């Protein structure tokens, strides 16, 4: 079977995994990761993303389907023979070893001579700014430091693919934001192929060259971040990635143009194959909504809540039909609670599905 999927570094073909209690963890997933690509798998907890990562690592066996590394079928190859680097959510640094011993462990197993081991571990520790911690024990490190050590330990073996399982989840928010950027830079600098699993869509957007959205064991959409955000394949993706306003109504033609009447507003229709009388869902993001000049509005609504977020003001608007619309207004906007305002939606940003799947 060698030679199949030679164009991609990592390939999953129709992989399924059922747990012993009968629940389906991974349901017929196929996936390609190109050399040097960072693919982020994102989805709610229990969606099968960690199991997918474990199947790539070899720590878990797929019930059906095949796994290829560089076109070679590795489905039956155990983890220790796959040359994968794994960064675990809990870091899993060996408590009985110092930082440098942890990092050198993979090289020790590969019988790399001590001088070379030290040199390669030293380079990575330098790059990840942990050179000063070499002789500490994992229990003496902060969460952020442990994360760096875990990353160095996984990178030092020059793995075919780096697998990161929620690597930043255990850290506090500010550190997470900093490390996210640094991690992305380091991985890009090394040109490494990586699979990054997270439940945090913002993290996935930042890290991933492409994003794979998973739900209930299935791959829902695999695409570049802008497409995931602007052209979500299903209502699930639209709701999971960022904040989305979704409205449903009947199509109507007027003056040669199509509109969708969602009750509180009549929106011009993005390209659709449907005709008047049929139902359509339209999506728009909070930042696509703005205050309108009188007479230009798509709808009016009463502002119920205002959240000042620094770079913007997020308002929750109640329309006269009782629907809630979330809008992000410029941070200098002077709006007041319990007051009616006219709003418009950037027509170019309205999105709808040609075929509705969900």
Residue ranges that bind other proteins, judged by CB under 8 A: 57-59, 78-81, 83-86, 88, 90, 92-96, 105-106, 109-110, 139, 153-154, 157, 163
Q: For residues 54 and 274, which CB has a smaller minimum distance to other proteins in the complex? A: 54
Q: Helices (H) and strands (E) in the chain — how many of each?
A: 8, 19
List the one residue out of 180, 207, 229, 214 whose CA is nearest residue 45: 214
Cβ-based neighbours of 275, under 8 Å, separated by 6 or more:
251
- Which tokens hold the place of 275? 């005709």
Q: For residues 164 and 237, which CB has a smaller minimum distance to other proteins in the complex? A: 164
The H or E element that residue 127 is part of is helix 114-127
**195, 41 contact by CB (below 8 A):** yes
Q: For residues 92 and 291, which CB has a smaller minimum distance to other proteins in the complex? A: 92
Q: For residues 137 and 230, which CB has a smaller minimum distance to other proteins in the complex? A: 137
- Provide, rounded to whole angstroms, the least separation between the CB of residue 214 and other proteins: 21
Q: What whole-number distance in Å separates Cα of residue 145 and Cα of residue 216?
A: 34
Q: Is 233 in a helix, a strand, or coil?
A: coil
Q: Is 101 in a helix, a strand, or coil?
A: helix
- How many Å is the maximal CA-CA distance in the chain? 79
Q: For residues 3 and 22, which CB has a smaller minimum distance to other proteins in the complex? A: 22
Q: Is 321 in a helix, a strand, or coil?
A: coil
DSSP 269: P
Q: For residues 56 and 219, which CB has a smaller minimum distance to other proteins in the complex? A: 56
Q: For residues 33 and 211, which CB has a smaller minimum distance to other proteins in the complex? A: 33
- Provide, rounded to whole angstroms, the least separation between the CB of residue 91 and other proteins: 9
- Provide, rounded to whole angstroms, the least separation between the CB of residue 347 and other proteins: 50
Sequence-separated contacts (24+) of 330-338 with Cβ below 8 Å: 333/291, 335/291, 335/303, 335/306, 336/303, 336/306, 337/303, 337/304, 337/305, 337/306, 338/302, 338/303, 338/304
The residue written with tokens 């990562």 in the block is 53
What is the Cα 339 distance to its own chain's centre? 37
Q: For residues 21 and 355, which CB has a smaller minimum distance to other proteins in the complex? A: 21
- Provide, rounded to whole angstroms, the least separation between the CB of residue 94 and other proteins: 6
What is the Cα 35 distance to its own chain's centre? 19
- Provide, rounded to whole angstroms, the least separation between the CB of residue 124 and other proteins: 14
């Amino acid at each position: 079977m060698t030679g199949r999927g030679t164009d991609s570094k990592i390939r999953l073909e129709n992989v399924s995994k059922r747990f012993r209690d009968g629940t389906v963890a991974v349901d017929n997933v196929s996936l390609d990761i190109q050399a040097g690509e960072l693919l982020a798998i994102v989805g709610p907890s229990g969606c099968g993303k960690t199991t997918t990562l474990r199947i790539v690592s070899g720590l878990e066996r797929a019930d059906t389907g095949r796994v290829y590394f560089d076109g070679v079928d590795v489905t039956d190859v155990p983890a220790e023979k796959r040359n994968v680097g794994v960064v675990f959510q809990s870091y899993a640094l060996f408590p009985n070893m110092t930082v440098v011993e942890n990092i050198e462990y993979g090289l020790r197993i590969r019988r790399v001579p001590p001088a070379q081991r030290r040199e390669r571990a030293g380079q990575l520790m330098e790059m990840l700014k942990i050179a000063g911690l070499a002789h500490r024990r994992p229990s003496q490190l902060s969460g952020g430091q442990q994360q760096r050590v875990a990353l160095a330990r996984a990178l030092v073996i020059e793995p075919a693919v780096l697998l990161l399982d929620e690597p930043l989840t255990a850290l506090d928010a500010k550190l997470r934001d900093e490390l996210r950027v640094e991690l992305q830079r380091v991985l890009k600098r090394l040109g490494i192929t990586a699979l990054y699993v997270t439940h945090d869509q913002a993290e996935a957007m930042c890290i991933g060259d492409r994003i794979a959205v998973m739900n209930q064991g299935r791959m829902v959409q695999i695409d570049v971040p802008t497409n995931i955000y602007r052209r979500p394949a299903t209502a699930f993706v639209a709701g999971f990635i960022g904040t989305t306003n979704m409205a449903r109504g009947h199509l109507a033609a007027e003056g040669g143009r199509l509109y969708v009447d969602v009750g509180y507003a009549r929106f011009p229709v993005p390209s659709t194959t449907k005709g008047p009388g049929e139902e359509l869902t339209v999506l728009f993001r909070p930042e696509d909504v703005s205050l309108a000049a009188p007479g230009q509005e798509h709808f009016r609504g009463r502002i119920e809540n205002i959240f000042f977020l620094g770079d913007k003001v997020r308002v929750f608007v109640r329309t006269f039909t009782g629907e809630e619309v979330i809008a992000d207004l410029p941070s200098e906007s002077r709006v007041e609670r319990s007051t009616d305002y006219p709003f418009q939606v950037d027509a170019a940003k309205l999105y709808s599905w040609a075929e509705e799947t969900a």
